[in-house]
Chain A
Amino acid sequence: MSDRPHGREEFRAAVDAEIAPRAARFDRDQSIPGDVLRRMGELGWWGAILPPETGGAGMDMVTLGELHEEVGRGCSSVRSLLTVHSMVSYAVSRWGSDEQRARWLPRLARGETIGAFCLTEQRAGSDVANIAATAVRQDDGSYVLDGGKRWTTGGQIAGLLLVFARTGRGISAFLVERDTPGVEVRPVHDMLGTRGSMLAEIDFRDCRLGPGALLGPDGFALATVVTGVLDIGRYSVACGCVGILQACLEAGARFTAEKGTRTQPLSEHQLIRQMLTQTVTDVTAARLLCRQAGELKDRQDPQTIMATWIAKYFASTAAARAASDAVQIHGAAGCAPDHPAQRYYRDAKVMEIIEGSTQIQQIKIAEEAYRWTAR
């Protein structure tokens, strides 16, 4: 345990040593190699959110946010894998039965089993209530699962799938082992961004699940497991976006301080300074919003749910802006193969879509405003 980093400075050093220098490679290869995944286990990152008695690092949510920010600064694809794994770990820890917890948490904590989150379908994205996958309960208490899930981050390597399906009582959550007969995983390549996050399409055909596969309340998963797990995912993405902002800031400042004509370095141009000022302000504000959301989570304050929506909305839109500026600042160099700026740009755009798109957030956050406004 003692060699596990547990504070921002240590996370930063580990990311700079082991993740950031290889991120361009992960992006090009569209995969994170096994040695990195194993190393993340040694560092305690897979089990960051889980309590020590299960083998986890027992981090509070503020510290978890700092970890996901630092990892996101180095590589959004690695952070995406951590995000979905943390979502599954949280779900088992929060809603799992004693048997489910005993069986899965130690493996999830070590990263021996990677978790993936299977919610989205062809015709059910932000409108999760449209889920068409079904899990039909049999007389012996087992379920038969049918349906297809899309855009599953980490789906290529996950051993444990958290799948949402319709039962007779509503929408429910299930823990599905990847090697269950009837599970078919197809890799998805050449996405715009987070290309290393090993996306998959997963089909479930006539999959027989034991009675112990049901996670949480039957038929009431939307307001509990889905909302709770997406809250964790949204928090992780928001923090990861702070990392992208920080990376854009550092790259832009370093480049413009060095580059320019003999008479005038780029850093002397006012319009360059304007872009950097915006990024500095955005990263500071986004980090504070994430910290606030994390502190509210640590206090189990219900306000954390909306605070996280706001943090994710601000951080993802700011990251997309800053990454666009970072490419602009670097000019042709920023568009070159393997240049970090173009990767930040592609990755940041994805952040505006996942875990609640910018538009969904604009609707939800405004809804909150109307709730508060006098009749």
Chain B
Amino acid sequence: MTAAVGPEIAKFLAGSFPNLDIGDDDDLFDGGIANSLFTIQLIMFVEKRFAVQIPNEDLELDNFRTVTAMTKLVERLTQARSDV
């Protein structure tokens, strides 16, 4: 499942913005793609799809800036969970 994290997030973005091509390292905030309304949708998607709750200390812009950053975050959180 971990291997699919990046593509799953990319799929969600593609579904949300059908007329944009968003690369894995494209900045969603500097590029003006994500407003605060979309950001919370993104957080909700990540939490639900990967069954994680993102702790407050990880709720920061840099973790959601790109598909790559989100993938790292999810992998770290799911890794932490399986370590428990």
A residues at B contact (CB < 8 Å): 95, 97, 216-217, 219-220, 222-224, 226-228, 231, 300-306, 364, 371-375
For residues 14 through 69 of chain B, which have their beta carbon under 8 Å from a beta carbon of chain A?
16-19, 36-37, 39-45, 47-48, 56-57, 59-61
Name the one of B40, B42, B47, B59 contacting A217, with C-beta atoms under 8 angstroms.
B59
Q: Knowing A300-B48, A371-B16, A371-B17 touch, does A305 contact B57 (C-beta < 8 A)? A: no
Kindly list chain A residues whose C-beta atoms are within 8 Å of the C-beta of B40.
223-224, 227-228, 231, 302, 305
Kindly list chain A residues whose C-beta atoms are within 8 Å of the C-beta of B36.
222-223, 226-227
| A217→B63 CA distance, assembly (Å) | 12
* Residue in A closest to B12 when the chains form the complex, CB atoms: A302
Least CB distance from B20 to A in Å reads: 8
B60 touches A217 (CB 8 A): yes
Least CB distance from B61 to A in Å reads: 6
* A-B pair number, CB within 8 angstroms: 57
Give the residue among B18, B36, B42, B47 with the most A Cβ atoms within 10 A.
B36
Least CB distance from B17 to A in Å reads: 6
| A347→B53 CA distance, assembly (Å) | 38
Residue contacts A-B, CB under 8 angstroms, 5 given: A219-B60, A220-B60, A224-B40, A231-B40, A305-B41
B19 touches A374 (CB 8 A): yes
| A231→B60 CA distance, assembly (Å) | 20
Name the one of A219, A224, A373 contacting B43, with C-beta atoms under 8 angstroms.
A224
Kindly list chain A residues whose C-beta atoms are within 8 Å of the C-beta of B45.
302
A375 touches B19 (CB 8 A): yes
B residues at A contact (CB < 8 Å): 16-19, 36-37, 39-45, 47-48, 56-57, 59-61
* Residue in B closest to A227 when the chains form the complex, CB atoms: B40
Kindly list chain A residues whose C-beta atoms are within 8 Å of the C-beta of B59.
216-217, 220, 224
A216 touches B56 (CB 8 A): yes
* Residue in B closest to A300 when the chains form the complex, CB atoms: B48
Give the residue among B17, B39, B43, B44 with the most A Cβ atoms within 10 A.
B44
Kindly list chain B residues whose C-beta atoms are within 8 Å of the C-beta of A219.
60
* Residue in A closest to B53 when the chains form the complex, CB atoms: A94
Q: Knowing A217-B56, A217-B60, A223-B40 touch, does A373 contact B48 (C-beta < 8 A)? A: no
Q: Knowing A217-B59, A222-B36, A223-B36 touch, does A300 contact B47 (C-beta < 8 A)? A: yes
| A251→B39 CA distance, assembly (Å) | 42
Kindly list chain A residues whose C-beta atoms are within 8 Å of the C-beta of B57.
217
Least CB distance from B55 to A in Å reads: 9
Counting from the closest, the 3 A-B pairs by CB-CB distance are: A223-B39, A302-B41, A217-B59
* Residue in B closest to A224 when the chains form the complex, CB atoms: B59
Q: Knowing A371-B17, A373-B19 touch, does A220 contact B37 (C-beta < 8 A)? A: no
| A371→B13 CA distance, assembly (Å) | 11
| A253→B37 CA distance, assembly (Å) | 40
Q: Knowing A220-B61, A300-B44, A371-B16 touch, does A364 contact B56 (C-beta < 8 A)? A: no
Q: Knowing A217-B60, A220-B61 touch, does A305 contact B18 (C-beta < 8 A)? A: no
| A216→B40 CA distance, assembly (Å) | 14
| A95→B56 CA distance, assembly (Å) | 7
Least CB distance from B48 to A in Å reads: 5
Q: 7 new A-B pairs (CB below 8 Å) besides A301-B44, A371-B16?
A: A97-B56, A216-B59, A217-B57, A224-B40, A302-B42, A305-B44, A371-B19
* Residue in B closest to A375 when the chains form the complex, CB atoms: B19
Least CB distance from A220 to B in Å reads: 5
* Residue in B closest to A169 when the chains form the complex, CB atoms: B60
B47 touches A227 (CB 8 A): no
B18 touches A374 (CB 8 A): yes
Kindly list chain B residues whose C-beta atoms are within 8 Å of the C-beta of A372.
18-19
